[in-house]
Amino acid sequence: MPPIPLVDLAAAHAEVAEEVESGFKRVIGDTAFIGGAEVAAFEQEYARFTGVGHCVGVANGTDALELALRAVGVGPGSEVILPANTFIATAEAVARAGARVVLVDCDPDSYLIDVPAALAAVTPATRAIVPVHLYGQLAPVEELRAGLAGRDVAIVEDAAQCQGATRNGRGAGAGGIAATSFYPGKNLGAYGDAGAVVADDAGLATAVRTLGSHGGLTKYVHEVIGVNSRLDGLQAVVLRAKLARLAGWNALRRAAAQRYHELLAPLEVGRPTTLPGNEHVWHIYCVRIPSDGTPARRDRVLAALHAAGVGAAIHYPVPVHLTPAFADLTPAAGAFPQAERLAPEILSLPIYPQLTADQQEAVASALSAALAG
Ligand SMILES: *Cc1c(COP(=O)(O)O)cnc(C)c1O
């Protein structure tokens, strides 16, 4: 069997190639390279898709998080709470907004933010909590919201991994604000960097758009010090073509995940639980290789999978507080036992809509052999 990649962007492109080509011609014909009709149409379509009132396209997911945080009032002197087991960008966005990163541990079963720990970390300086919808399922935002009742703390959802996911029938950002990434490998991926903020409140959406357009919506009128973070017309073409297929693609991911559950049931591997009420979109299929607390066994399994042509990966190998970039955070090793226990044991298997049953069987037998080896 030919190698099985972690994600197959060529297979996704094949499905949209014609639309992308004609769309690119349209954008080039109109020279609408930044903003323009394609971007406006995508923003409307994505807002409708997520069931949130407004969508603002930006340059990438990290910017989307930063601008959403700034729009809700996060700045110097603020504290922002986020889980230790996330992609570094979640923490970078907080730091770039000028605020202090306050990490909390994750739930040992779902690997999502530990809600009681997050609520316990709130201080008078806390301006926001960033739940990360890790691997494609939504964190229990309603529990955070209930716990924050009466306090002036915003919830800014990191929805980079969950395009199309719902919790109790609602998408990320419903009734609040969420930031997402259209990095090529995400469930909805552009052909370069792209991202968006969705918000139900029109004022918040306008604040994000203003911050991302050099601090003003009228040329040469700058109300605040903003940044340059906008969505390109060519990327909007790709995103519109893929968005039209996303619900179907997510259904195929769910079917693939179900097949993995069955194929891997006899193996000695764990995996995160899916919370009741969640419609998961399986951005990542994570398995957990029981170990002695060091990454040695997981790394051996990973190397064996690579040798067998299986493009497995790790999301993420080092919790935020143990990265050199955030070494000045107060918590030291041992501060977040769940996140630290997970990091040396987790492994992500290939998953994408076009993954075949035969490929999944090959992945399962490679994993079985690797675990025995
Ligand atoms: C991808 C990702 C981001 C950042 O998105 P970019 O578009 O790469 O800037 C942020 N948070 C999480 C959880 C992600 O997976």
pLDDT tens, residue by residue, 89-133: 999 999 999 999 999 999 999 999 999 999 999 999 999 999 999
- Distance (Å, whole) CA 102 – CA 74: 13
Instruction: List residues near ligand 1 (CB under 6 A).
Output: 60-62, 86-87, 89-90, 132, 158, 160-161, 181, 183, 193, 195
- pLDDT at residue 9 in the model: 98
- pLDDT at residue 197 in the model: 98
Residue 330 has pLDDT above 80, yes or no: no
Question: Among 138, 181, 231, which residue has the most ligand 1 atoms within 8 Å of its CB, making it the best to mutate?
Answer: 181
Q: Average pLDDT of 265-280?
A: 97
- pLDDT at residue 297 in the model: 96
What is the distance in A from the centroid of ligand 1 to the CA of 130?
A: 13
Residue 332 has pLDDT above 80, yes or no: no
> Is residue 42 within 8 Å of 239, Cβ to Cβ?
yes
Residue 228 has pLDDT above 90, yes or no: yes
Q: Average pLDDT of 149-154?
A: 95
Statement: 246-372 belongs to CATH 3.40.50.970: no
What is the distance in A from the centroid of ligand 1 to the CA of 116?
A: 25
Ligand 1 atom closest to the CA of 182, numbered from 1: 7
Ligand 1 atom closest to the CA of 132, numbered from 1: 13
Domain residue ranges in the chain: 9-240, 246-372
What is the distance in A from the centroid of ligand 1 to the CA of 146?
A: 27
Q: What is the pTM assigned to this prediction? A: 0.98
Edge-to-edge strands, sheet with 100-104: 54-58, 195-199, 177-181, 154-158, 126-129, 79-83, 100-104
Q: What is the CATH number of domain 9-240?
A: 3.40.640.10
What is the distance in A from the centroid of ligand 1 to the CA of 307?
A: 28
**Cβ neighbours around 237 below 10 Å, total:** 26
ω into residue 191 within 30 of 0, thus cis? no
Query: In this predicted model, what pLDDT tens digit does every residue of 48-64 receive, in sequence order?
Result: 999 999 999 999 999 99
Question: Among 113, 137, 158, which residue has the most ligand 1 atoms within 8 Å of its CB, making it the best to mutate?
Answer: 158
- pLDDT at residue 162 in the model: 98
What is the distance in A from the centroid of ligand 1 to the CA of 181?
A: 5
Tokens (6 digits) for 237: 């073409």
Maximum distance among all Cα pairs of the chain, rounded to whole angstroms:
65
Q: Quickly list DSSP for 307-373.
A: HTTB--B-S-SS-GGGSGGGTTSS--TTS-HHHHHHTTTEEEE---TT--HHHHHHHHHHHHHHHH-
